[in-house]
Amino acid sequence: MEVVSAAEARSNGARIAYDDLGAGEPALLLMPGWCANRTVFRRLAPLLSPQRRVFALDWRGNGGSDSPSSDFGEDGLLEDALAVVASSGAREIVPVALAHAGWVAIALARRLGARIPRMILVEWLVLGAPPPFREALAGMQSPETWRPTLDRLFDFWLHGEADPEVERFVRGEMGAHGFPMWSRAGREIAGAYDREGSLLEALSRLSPAVPTMHVYATPDDPGFLRAQQEFAVAHPWFRVRKLEARTHFPMIEAPETLAAEILAD
């Protein structure tokens, strides 16, 4: 079994914990979404590391990283990612971002330029935030509605999936975060959509363009896939792959399939 090196970086003095395994560049930087620990990549990372060096981080306030004493936002997550990159010594980095960590991936591309040769985005509403999701983001920011909003969101993400690891991660680990972190997530995700528009719009503004692949399992909507395929025809640097999985967490539910897509990119 491969030895995973537990490492740490310093982000404005805060300790940021990350796993470091494998060898070979460009390295893969696995970034969880808001309110998610690096344990979401526990099944995926060992499948990638025989061919690449792999980092999986815990954002500030999550998992093994320090909890800050003051509020923070997406800029703080960017600082954490940059700290891991600097600590690792890797020159070329491919961000592999779950959901809204994709905004951090785009910020990394803007900051590091050619050191980001491509990006892999997993399970994201790339066409923009539909009204029901906007309502959920608002509900997450209210002390009265955040918990029932979260329960509905968890049910939607799980889709009745029987894999106990998916259930444990979502309801156990993500559900352990309280109102401060979830309200922060709602605020920052909504703010990113207000600022950037859709992911596809944000990607289109990168100059030069960064080759990007979106890999997803949900939603199971032909229109969602077709819109991305049409975008890919007009923008050859973009690709989309639809996975045969049921939940919002294919890195837990179908890690072999996701690893194959990442390594083939």
How many whole angstroms separate alpha carbon 22 and alpha carbon 3? 9
Q: Which residue is catalytic, options 100, 177, 214, 248?
A: 248
* Rg of the chain taking only CA atoms, in angstroms: 17
Six-digit token string for 196: 């950037």
Six-digit token string for 9: 């970086």
How many whole angstroms separate alpha carbon 65 and alpha carbon 97? 18
The Cβ of residue 264 has, within 10 Å, a number of other Cβ atoms equal to 8
Three-state SS annotation for 124-184: CCCCCCCHHHHHHHHHHCCCCCHHHHHHHHHHHHHCCCCCHHHHHHHHHHHHHCCHHHHHH
Helical H segments across 50-130, by residue range: 74-88, 102-112
Catalytic residue list contains 159: no
Six-digit token string for 29: 């930087």
**Contact in structure between 225 and 240 (CB atoms under 8 Å):** yes
The CA distances from residue 264 to 30, 43, 51, 150, 257, in Å, are 16, 18, 11, 35, 11
Active site residues: 248
